[in-house]
A and B are shown apart, each in its own frame.
Chain A
Amino acid sequence: MNPIQEIKKPEGKFKIKFLPYNVEIDVFKEGENLLRIAMAAGVHINASCGGIGACGKCRVIIKNGLENIKGGKSPKLTKDEIEKGYRLACLTKVYGPIEVEIPKESQIDSSVYEIKKEPEHVLSATKIEHLIPSYKLNPTIFKVYLPLEQPTLDDNLNDVDRIIRTLKKHYNIENVTFDFEVVKKLPTLLRESNWKIVLTVVSVEGRYKVIDVVEGKKGAQNYAFVVDIGTTGVSGELLDLNVCDLLNDGIEEVSIAKGSVLAEHSIYNKQVSYGEDVITRIVYAIKGNGLEILQKAAVDTINEILDKCLEKSKINREDISFMVTAGNTTMTQLFLGVNPKYIREEPYVPTARQFPPVRAHKLGINLKESTYVYTFPNVASYVGGDIVSGVLATGIYQAPEITLFMDIGTNGEIVLGNQDWLVCTSCSAGPAFEGGGIKFGMRATPGAIEQCRINPENFEPMIMTIGGEKPIGICGSGLIEIISEMFKAGIISQNGKFNKDIDSPRIREGETGGYEFVIVWKENSGIGEDITICEADIDNLLRAKGAVFAGCKILLESVGMTFDDVERIIIAGGFGKYINLEKAIKIGLFPEVDLEKFIYVGNSSLMGTRLVAFSKDLMKEADKISNMMTHIELANNMKFMEEFVAACFLPHTDPSLFPKTMEEINKIVDKLKRKTQEVK
């Protein structure tokens, strides 16, 4: 089902009504958290612990439909209160229609709080199967079970040719060659295994190479390990290729079901301590044995993810026969240990578009000797395999619609085009969206604040964390929400600077000078100190969003288009599970276009690696994509710097790009003007 339509006309499963505001909202998911529902409905309830029931502030009264909820009881509520229907919203799960009253103590100045009647557009990264082009399940590396006939005096063919003959007979496979290591094993293994073996075979362009042989029986285990090597974050998945016992049974079409992913894990790239962006990493790599250190850091990161995935899935390391990675050009070269020096120097040339497959263990990956790594082909020095992988996963190279694809990581990579043409560019956004360079920034993992509302009258925040745990930091999507809300509440101006006249304990001068806003007091935080956001954090985010927006604008201009010509906007990146479109538009990260044009796909690069592990046809497609993309270089583009400065403003220096947002801003500004006048 198309998620665009899901957003367009959702059929509510049941309604929830909030009193005294009389706001009704449709809920589509049974068991949804009541605090999250309130947030979506625009109803403000005090909540400062992130949703674990510790602060006891989000008290609500269930007026009707007590039978439709579960949970919500807490020692923070007296017996008497519970009987009266009091619950903690953050602990309450809703299964049917209810009426909820927000008692006085949980609302803040309800008289002045503006209630939005429409629920906000929050996109979650869910199914993107509809985007993926159909393909044949046909992995590059597969295993075959082969029962051989024992040699006799009449049939005294040698071992290798015997295998070739049997492969032809059983699977109609021709053009087979052998890795020498395999041949060496054969004489003993064939006889000890009683002529029943499992071969691991690589297939490229109609040719086959046997890379491993073990004693075996039918139904051999075949797994792949795929990794997205980001500058800041690295994510890996362990895939079950066993669905691919298919060579004889004909080839079936499948969709990449989540079920094929046995385990996933994601951590910060261990290279981060040697520099936050690709440029500083390259600088590090070309000094002394820097390249070696960075290569090892990448491998250590991947090995840690691999270990975690093996632990979670409980499969054997030896059964992993294939590995796929996607990363930007620098990350790819650092991982492979190829000197990245010339990526940074004019005229910015990478070493290869497609690096040949290499044995994983040679790079230091703890996988058996016969396991190869396939790295995604790149386009240019600053448009790498991760973006090719994303384009593959989202299928924009096969769709007729003009699509703008934005992969927002430390490097913002942008692709524009459709089935006939693709242009791309990349701009350095910095790690802010992945929580880097932000005082209390973190990856989108449990405990990260991902949603936030700020009461414009008394600046009390309402927050939700990933996993409903005690807040320990802020992830990318949380940062977008917080800054948008701070702006809306008049805490910061259009240039992201604090309004120092506000009298609130939450707005204060930080220890390192400069102002900061306290989102969570230390009593409620999971780190024993206040969680704050300071001017430098806001600057970082402004620059990050400015770079991405400017990049989009230049890319569109380079083909004579505007945002209005774009039919779909696909957002990828590691913000978190949700991204609040309206807030992202309000800060000027995304253009102000029809909300229904947006699709959020999460980590599309990882998705692409998964596809390639399953299908060698798609591997060919990846190659085609990397060849067909035209790269627009921003490094020597005079206009980029100008667009960048113009975009480092909330939402933008050119108000005509954000007419609706400006209407709202003008209201906020008018309110502030009145306040300034009153002071005088």
Chain B
Amino acid sequence: MAFAIPKENYAGKVREIVIGKGDKAVKIGGYDSMPLCTFEGTWPNKPVVAMEVYDVAPELNAQGWPPATFEAFKDVINDPGAWAKKCLEYGADLICVQLAGTDPNAQNKSAEEAIEVVKKVKEAVGDIPLIIWGSNNLEKDQEVLPAIMEAFPNENWLFGPAEEGNYKKITASAIGYGHLVAGKSSIDVNLAKQLNILIENLGLSLDKVVMDPTTASLGYGIEYTYSVMERISLAALAQNDDKMQNPFINDLAKEAWKTREAMLTVEEEPTYGEQNTRGILMESITAIDLIAAGSSILIMRNPTAVKVIKELINELYS
């Protein structure tokens, strides 16, 4: 008797989400099997890589910017538009504008300044869809993100993170100005679902929502992220829970590059080995784990890591 692979039949399907518009629009989700289990179902849209562009130029060896990453962008580090273009050359599917500089505890850049940065990026990349990511400051994000939505209406970009403490203003603006929302919940299946319900209750269709389950780096709790993503996927697919059928976004580069393993020099920690490779591996392996967990959008930083991951995605999902 021939061997038949035992297959799981899933009752549910994750929503297909479109980011951006026109020919360059990016589709994610739409899958009906667990990640990598394409023999049980289909993943019509591969995971995509969004590369970061920062609103404020980072300095060499500042947290998250060891040489491996800084060198790749040092020519464009002061010009968000050029930086974004470079990302496209490196193979980015979309651009993620990181508004870390708006954080009141950092440079406290204003919403107007943030709009200027977004404008430069948009002019440089044309119709490539953007992800606009706030500084994780609840108050500031609910001021800055809606302002950008208003400045660029109906672009159908993805804005995040919207959390329990500020989802109302961000969601209401997304409804009004035609954008998408990434809802961020703190590493819990039920909290993720509750946020989806709350966002939907405000009137934003779940076809416009992506889930950020809170991302941890390799070695710093990635197993929690993995577990929560797996359980959300099982609820969405196996139990057909329609409040959980949304694809994931993982803001992973910040986490991977701020680790000691990425930041310490060989002199500081000789047993860790060569620093550049180490950092790139931290980012790559974190991304691989998240692909295995079912991520649809990986927010990444280093071009070499991006290259590795793009090749891997093409191999896994071709």
A→B interface (CB under 8 Å) = 493-495, 497, 500, 642, 645-646, 648-649, 653, 655, 669, 672-673, 676-677, 679-680
Contact = CB atoms under 8 A, between A and B. Distances in A.
Interface in B127-183: 164, 168, 172, 175-176
B201 A645 contact: no
A653 B241 CA distance: 11
A677 B194 contact: no
27 contacts: A493-B198, A494-B194, A494-B198, A494-B201, A495-B164, A495-B194, A495-B198, A500-B168, A642-B189, A642-B190, A648-B190, A649-B194, A649-B197, A653-B190, A653-B193, A653-B197, A655-B243, A669-B201, A673-B201, A673-B202, A673-B203, A676-B172, A676-B175, A676-B202, A676-B203, A679-B172, A680-B175
A646 B193 CA distance: 9
- Most A C-beta atoms less than 10 A away, residue of B193, B203, B243: B203
Contact of B201 (A493, A500, A646, A648): A493
Given A495-B164, A497-B164, A642-B190, A677 B203 contact: yes
A676 B198 CA distance: 13
B312 interface: no
B172 A680 contact: yes
Sort A-B residue pairs by CB-CB distance and give the 4 closest, nearest first. Answer: A673-B203, A680-B176, A645-B190, A646-B190
B188 A645 contact: yes
B191 A645 contact: yes
Contacts of A500: 168
Nearest to A493: B198
Contacts of B190: 642, 645-646, 648-649, 653
A362 to B, nearest CB: 50
Contacts of A655: 243
Interface in B217-252: 243
Contacts of A645: 188-191
Given A500-B168, A646-B193, A676-B172, 4 more contacts: A648-B190, A649-B197, A672-B202, A680-B172
Contacts of A646: 190, 193
Contacts of A669: 201
A15 B193 CA distance: 47
Contacts of A653: 190, 193-194, 197
Nearest to A645: B190
Interface of B: 164, 168, 172, 175-176, 188-191, 193-194, 197-198, 201-203, 243
A156 B238 CA distance: 90
B170 to A, nearest CB: 13
Contacts of A497: 164
B254 to A, nearest CB: 26
A653 B189 CA distance: 10
Contacts of B198: 493-495
B175 A677 contact: yes
Contacts of A494: 194, 197-198, 201
B203 to A, nearest CB: 4
Contacts of B175: 676-677, 680
A493 B198 CA distance: 8
A655 B190 CA distance: 12
A646 B188 CA distance: 10
Nearest to B189: A642
Contacts of B201: 493-494, 669, 672-673
A50 B61 CA distance: 66
Nearest to B203: A673
B145 to A, nearest CB: 16
Nearest to B173: A680
A499 to B, nearest CB: 8
- Most A C-beta atoms less than 10 A away, residue of B175, B176, B197: B197
Contacts of A680: 172, 175-176
B2 to A, nearest CB: 38
A494 B176 CA distance: 22
Nearest to B201: A669
B179 to A, nearest CB: 13
A679 B201 CA distance: 15
Nearest to B176: A680
A669 B201 CA distance: 6
Contacts of B243: 655
Contacts of A676: 172, 175, 202-203
Nearest to B196: A653
A333 B202 CA distance: 51
A204 to B, nearest CB: 51
A493 B164 CA distance: 11
A181 to B, nearest CB: 61
A645 to B, nearest CB: 4
Contacts of B189: 642, 645
B121 to A, nearest CB: 26
Nearest to B177: A680
A648 B191 CA distance: 9
A655 B197 CA distance: 10
A680 B191 CA distance: 28
A495 B193 CA distance: 11
Contacts of A649: 190, 194, 197
Nearest to A669: B201
B311 to A, nearest CB: 37
A493 B203 CA distance: 13
B255 to A, nearest CB: 23
B301 to A, nearest CB: 32
A640 to B, nearest CB: 12
Contacts of A493: 198, 201
B99 to A, nearest CB: 24
B106 to A, nearest CB: 24
Contacts of A673: 201-203
Nearest to A656: B241
A646 B239 CA distance: 16
B228 to A, nearest CB: 11
Contacts of B197: 494, 649, 653
B181 to A, nearest CB: 14
A653 B191 CA distance: 8
A647 to B, nearest CB: 9
A472 B201 CA distance: 35
Nearest to A668: B201
Contacts of B168: 500
A494 B202 CA distance: 11
A225 to B, nearest CB: 46
A677 B190 CA distance: 27
